[in-house]
Amino acid sequence: MRLAAGLLELRARSLGNGQAIRHVSKWAPWEDHYTQLAVRERMRSRAAYKLAQMQKSTGMLGRRSFVLDLGAAPGGWTLAAKRFVDTDPSTSWDSKAEASREGTSAGYGKIVAIDLLRVEEIPGVTFIQQDLLDAAAVEQKIKNLLRHRQHFDVVLSDMAPSTTGDKQRDHFKIIRLVESALQIAISFLPPSGGAFLAKIFRGSEERDFLDKLRRSFTKVKTIKPQASRKQANEIYVYCEGRKQ
């Protein structure tokens, strides 16, 4: 079944050209609908459609949102976010320029993407190459970038470790990653506001991690988007309203 036209039809020509998805995992035969769609529409990964579906149900991304995309490589979610956020295509985020033209740039949102791996450039997106497990270094680079702004509106994390096939071991590894993402989100989301969306693998620490999220946010729910394969062990946690 094809995605609905408009909101979920993420076409490369409207998002900016990017490297199309290049390979298919053992869980993604060529007949997989979203893999085919990603190839046809030159999206960087099929994960773009997961974010689009979760945007439809949450409305977390606005036209002028300031968005932090953690674990962005190869840029699938970054491209998808650009479908919903109006960024200035002529420039990345220069904090000095932002301060001087605050009035005239008010119509634009911002997207900052971070990953240890290099991400192919996307017009209007600022990239930081940094190991996300080093939360202190990440936070310092973000602070250096922000300068004249204290918060992001949305923090996204689709990062995951290299899987081993051992579900419990992979679960432990992704929880460590997402705890680092959570620390960053708490540092840069506004008090009593903002949204945090992250991927986790189901497992024994899931309940404790959800409890940790509930201590940090006023609203927490889990989401399994249609584009997420049924056999995949992943779910997404969506949080709103950072507690002070």
Q: How many domains does the chain have?
A: 1
Which 3-state string (H, E, C) describes 62-128? CCCCEEEEECCCCCHHHHHHHCCCCECCCCCCCHHHHHHCCCCCCCCEEEEEEECCCCCCCCCEEEE
Asked, for residue 9, whether it belongs to a domain, the answer is no
What is the mean pLDDT of the segment spanning 94-121?
70
**Cβ neighbour number for residue 172 with a 10 Å cutoff:** 15
Residue 65, domain member (yes or no)? yes
User: What is the identity of the amino acid at 40?
Assistant: R
- Quote the domain boundaries for residue 236: 46-242
- For 155-206, write each residue's pLDDT tens digit: 999 988 888 889 999 999 999 999 999 999 999 999 999 999 999 999 999 9
- Check pLDDT > 60 for residue 8: no
The answer to the question of residue 17 being in a domain is no
Specify if 198 maps to a domain. yes
pLDDT of residue 157: 96
For the entire predicted model, the pTM comes to: 0.80
Nearest Cα residue to 68 out of 162, 13, 149, 7: 149
Catalytic pick from 82, 96, 199, 230? 199
pLDDT tens per residue, range 120-141: 888 889 999 998 888 888 889 9
Calpha distance 63→80 (Å, rounded): 13
Domain assignment present for residue 37? The answer is no
Catalytic: 199?
yes
Only one residue has tokens 């990964």, namely 45
- The CATH number that applies at residue 238 is 3.40.50.150
